[in-house]
Structure 1
Amino acid sequence: MKPDCRSEEDWGYLCDYWESDKAKQYAEQMKHNRGKLAIPSRGGSRSIANHKFSMTNKETQMLPSPIELYQKLHFDPIKKCINDESRIQYENILQLKEEECVKLVSAGTNIT
């Protein structure tokens, strides 16, 4: 039993549910649906806003950049990219950022 479960009865109910044909069929359907995603996310059931809040620097109250957020949601800390499409999109984002920075610097804007 997990320590945060309310009671042994609840835990038993959940175990019975997870072993049921209905739950197994649902899990298989969700696995099939996730396989259709072109760019999967590691965000789970939490919203993007919730991920942004959890990544906010507690001292400075600075929100994460969109690039940092994309990296958190589409990269595995061990395996790196979730898939090739995620890697390609991330490389495109970084290239676009670099191009925009070059434009700003050439226009005389100081980037810090």
Structure 2
Amino acid sequence: TFMTSYLIANFRTTAEDFYNKIISHWRVETYHYHLDMLMEEDEHIAYKEPFSIAILRSFALNLFQLFHNAHKDKKLPTGKATMAEIKRTCKYDDYFTAQLFEQEYV
């Protein structure tokens, strides 16, 4: 199945460049979606040191994502290894949280 898209720009470019720009845009959107839905960023606004809190949220989200990518087919003790389940398990299992930090993500 093919789909035709028409894109308008005020500069010359190729279809491949447009494709890369669109993919890049949706990566950012997906990242912000995870920050909002998983880390509840919109619910917890930091008035003091917001930059520091943003870095910590981003770090935690990246750790969850790395673990998720490395263990997609495995199950956690509490269920399937989804991003939400990884976060939930971290809240209640200090040993699991330590494993997140000790693992090599290469």
Q: TM-score, normalised by structure 2?
A: 0.29
Give the structure with higher Rg (CA).
1
